[in-house]
Chains A and B, each alone.
Chain A
Amino acid sequence: MKISVIITLKKDVLDPQGKVIHQTLDGMGFDDVNEIRQGKYFEIDTKETDNDKAKAKVEEMCKKLLANLVIENYKIIDPK
């Protein structure tokens, strides 16, 4: 089963990379952008076949390694 995770920076955390990407897009003519925040995306292929169990394990992975909860939020995308 494949499960995806999206990690985003919490809203009060400075994201200089997002800022620079925003400025560059602005320079390229995409001048209607309000803000850009850069994040991370993971695709996890697990042997687990039970949806709920798999989600619970991925949640544990997020808390213990994939995300740093001081600065990041995680969102698990429901497996299809």
Chain B
Amino acid sequence: MKSAVITFPGSNCDRDMDVALKKFGFKNKMVWHADAELPKSDLVVLPGGFSYGDYLRCGSMASKSKIMQSVINFANSGGMVMGVCNGFQILVETGLVPGVLLRNKYLEFICKNIFVKINDKQNKYFKNINIEVLKFHIAHNEGNYFCTNDQLKEIEDNNQIAINYCDENGKIEDQFNPNGSIKNIAGIFNKEKNVLGMMPHPERMIDISLSGEDGSLFFKNLINNLK
């Protein structure tokens, strides 16, 4: 399985993502934002970081970069595109997934482990995963998911919510919502579910001695689903 990680000026989780993808069997290539062509890939990842210093709105500049037209075409033709953290912010700015990510409700940068409950397994990201609640890491200032009421209705009707913030038992409540996101949304799909944007970093949970291994479960499952 081949993957590609796009590096934007200011990306800082691109190499972590590279390590994670390779660890679980992907042949990964790093792609510079100013390139026009994507290498042949089964998965394209927009990594976390602070592309363009978060100028204007997080992800807004990166969403207009040269490589993104190829990424958008790839996604629109059914290609698997995953955006993590700043990558999620870039995805919403391209319009590939609905909504926006606002400043966290309590105006603080949040950096901690959280739990998310998988809402939908009818997709290549979570199909067959043998777990309901994942322990992931978040580190963001703008992760407060927001969309219009009409968009929310459409998202719910199409079952596009991927993961929700919850407690370790999978209980989705206000008190387990770290950033004020509507409906505790931590990750969301496009309508066809080949594009996934999420705030948590699975690539930070791939080593039991460092952090945890729920990211390992995620990546192992993902590569099996793509085979």
Chain A residues engaging chain B, CB cutoff 8 angstroms: 13-14, 16-17, 20, 64-66, 68, 70-71
Contacts and interface: CB of A to CB of B under 8 A. Distances in A.
Q: Chain A binding site: helix, strand, loop or mixed by DSSP?
A: helix
Given A70-B100, A71-B102, 4 more contacts: A17-B107, A20-B107, A65-B56, A70-B148
B28 to A, nearest CB: 31
A16 B106 contact: yes
B146 A13 contact: yes
B60 A14 contact: no
Contacts, number: 33
B107 A16 contact: yes
Which of B56, B64, B105, B106 neighbours the largest number of chain A CB atoms within 10 Å of its CB? B56
B105 A16 contact: yes
B10 to A, nearest CB: 17
A66 B93 CA distance: 11
A71 B107 CA distance: 18
Chain B, interface size category, equals 10 to 19
A41 to B, nearest CB: 13
Contacts of A14: 102, 105, 144, 146, 180
Contacts of B33: none
Closest 4 CB pairs of A and B: A70-B100, A16-B107, A71-B100, A68-B100
Interface string B173-185: 0000000100000
B220 interface: no
Given A17-B107, A71-B146, A65 B102 contact: no
